[in-house]
Amino acid sequence: MTGLIFLAMMVLIIWAEIKVFALIGAETGALFVIVAVFATAAIGLRLFRKAGASTMRRFRDAASGGRPPVLEIADGSAIILAAGLLLMPGFVTDAIGLVLFVPGLRTVLAIILGRLVFSLMSRNTMVFHKSFNATPPPEDPEPENKNPSGVTIDGEFERKD
């Protein structure tokens, strides 16, 4: 079902791009459309470098401060998607890419998209195993030292006799 939704979205975006190209080309001419496509690609690269560097700086600050850089990862993912959309020829994808470069909106949209992806993944019917080995593990030479519960408690102790 997810594949059909993705396919429908792709067809809709391609149809919208063709329509918008035709409308803008009819009003302004083909030369303007060609120049605009290259200009938006150049703008996308410039914004990618600037926003990407800022996000990487925040990522390093969060990581060195001991905080998990979750928002920075979401921002970075949105920036990569936005730059890719601006590099693609088309005015609809350029508009979506420019919206993704707005800092606060970018974070909110990345979080919403992340939640959507994780909810789709949780409905997946695949079963993940803890490990997969083609051959069984070798027998333990000293089974009496084996921890039957599999729980390890770490700590300090002092022996008093």
Burial 65-81 (b: 16+ CB within 10 A, else e): eeeebebbebbbbbbeb
Q: What is the pLDDT of residue 148?
A: 63
Burial 116-138 (b: 16+ CB within 10 A, else e): eeeeeeeeeeeeeeeeeeeeeee
Q: What is the pLDDT of residue 26?
A: 92
> Whole-structure pTM over 0.85, yes or no?
no
Q: What is the pLDDT of residue 83?
A: 87
> Could you report the per-residue pLDDT of 106-120, keeping only the tens digit for each?
878 877 877 887 777
Contacts of 88 (CB under 8 A, 6+ apart): 94
* Domain spans of the chain, in order of start: 12-126
Q: State the Cα–Cα distance between residues 27 and 136, nearest whole angstrom.
A: 70
Counting as low any pLDDT under 50, the low residues of the chain are none
> Could you report the per-residue pLDDT of 20-33, keeping only the tens digit for each?
999 999 999 889 98
Contacts of 109 (CB under 8 A, 6+ apart): 78, 99, 100
Q: Residues for the chain: how many in total?
A: 161
